[in-house]
Structure 1
Amino acid sequence: MKINKKKLLFVCLGNICRSPAAEGVMKSIINANKANANYEVDSAGIGNWHVGQLPDSRMRACGLKRGYVFNSHARQFTKSDFQYFDYIFVMDQENYRQITSQTQNEDERKKVLMLADYITQHANVKIIADPYYGNEKDFNNALDLIEDACQQLFVALETHNKSTNAI
């Protein structure tokens, strides 16, 4: 029996801070739950400035302290991602605006979701802010939010896999 994998894409501005961290955290959660056969996870950036580069060294260092290895290479989001991925998670309203502006229909638009909507442990957080121009505290804060959101997202996806409810 062939398993129909859920395909998840995480998107931020340059694909070197938030989205590769979300990709790495989500892969770690999936692996820890022995659910690798059920998911495919990737990340992309809106801009092409960092294509081919590893994630920002500061985000890699923050991740390593928590046991993550963020080693994906940056790529730019393309319109074909709408056809390939089931869900596209963005980090802030500007990401949402830029990605949804590329949609061609309502089905594509419905795939674009705010990752911060899955945050439960941090009150009143609506976005995962870009830490790029910040310091180590900003990177750790972004990673705290990403971990929280990805944990809750995984629960929502697993619940969805067992029912017909939308995530």
Structure 2
Amino acid sequence: MNKKSILFVCLGNICRSPSAEAVMKALVKEKGLQSQYYIDSAGITGFHAGEPADSRMKQHALRRNYHLTSSSRPVDPKIDFEEFDYIIGMDDQNIRDLNNLAKTDQDRSKISKMTDYCTRFVHDSVPDPYYGGASGFELVLDLLEDACEGLINKLENE
């Protein structure tokens, strides 16, 4: 069986996308589906390449038992559009940037926005918490939990 491969993308790959990766991995494991998924995250920019997730994001995630263990990396359009079935951006700018990186209509068909999968929250994006306070990090996790549940339900019912 082929694994469903998902790449979560935000600007720098230190807050939102590594959190989405951790939340999705935890939910997939909780449902006993880990053998069916390959999950990763990346950033539009390589500014934080090789760095761990933001320490504030890690602290908030840990309170919910999510472990942010990935290192930041930039999107590699030559590899990522080939390797991943779903490339999910956190906000409209991420979506525009991903569409600019895409080379073909098939590449573009893999792109969607994280909040498209929300079922409880009505937000048009996952806001970047980097310059805000604690409530921003908590909102990110709330949105990601909702969206990851919705994404799993969508993928499991296809």
| Alignment match, 1:55 | 53
Alignment of 1:86-97 (within 5 A): 86-97=85-96
Alpha-carbon distance in 2 for matches of 1:76, 1:121: 30
Local SS of the residue matching 1:101: helix
Partner residue in 2 for 1:164: none
Moved more, 114-123 or 27-36: 114-123
* Count of aligned residue pairs for this structure pair: 157
Identity %: 43
State the distance in 1 between where 2:50 and 2:101 align.
23
Cα RMSD, aligned residues only: 0.6
Note the C-alpha offset of 1:68.
0.8
Q: Which segments of 5 or more consecutive residues in structure 1 lack a partner in the other structure? A: 161-167
CA distance in 2, matches of 1:129, 1:113: 16
Q: What is the CA distance between 1:103 and its match in structure 2?
A: 1.1
Q: Could you list the runs of 4 or more consecutive aligned residues of structure 1 that deviate by over 3 angstroms after TM superposition?
A: none
Note the alpha carbon deviations across 1:89-127, whole angstroms, 9 max, x for none: 00000000001011111110010000111111113x110
Q: Following the alignment from structure 1 to structure 2, what is the Cα–Cα distance between the partners of residues 122 and 89?
A: 17
TM-score by length of 2: 0.98
Deviation at 1:71, TM superposition (A): 1.1
**Which residue matches 1:155?**
153
- Summarize deviations over 1:134-164 as a string: whole Å, max 9, x none: 111100011100110001101111111xxxx
User: Structure 2: where are the runs of 5+ without partners?
Assistant: none
Aligned ranges 1:94-113 → 2 under 5 Å: 94-113=93-112
Pair member with larger Rg: 1
How big is the shift at 1:23? Answer: 0.1
1:114 maps onto 2:106 in alignment: no
CA distance in structure 2 between the aligned counterparts of 1:41 and 1:118, rounded to whole angstroms: 16
Residue type of the partner of 1:146? L
CA-CA distance at 1:52 after TM superposition: 0.7
TM-score normalised to structure 1 length: 0.92
User: 2:29 — aligned with what?
Assistant: 31
Matches within 5 A, 1:12-27: 12-27=10-25
User: What's the counterpart of residue 84 of structure 1?
Assistant: 83
Q: 1:163 is matched with which residue?
A: none
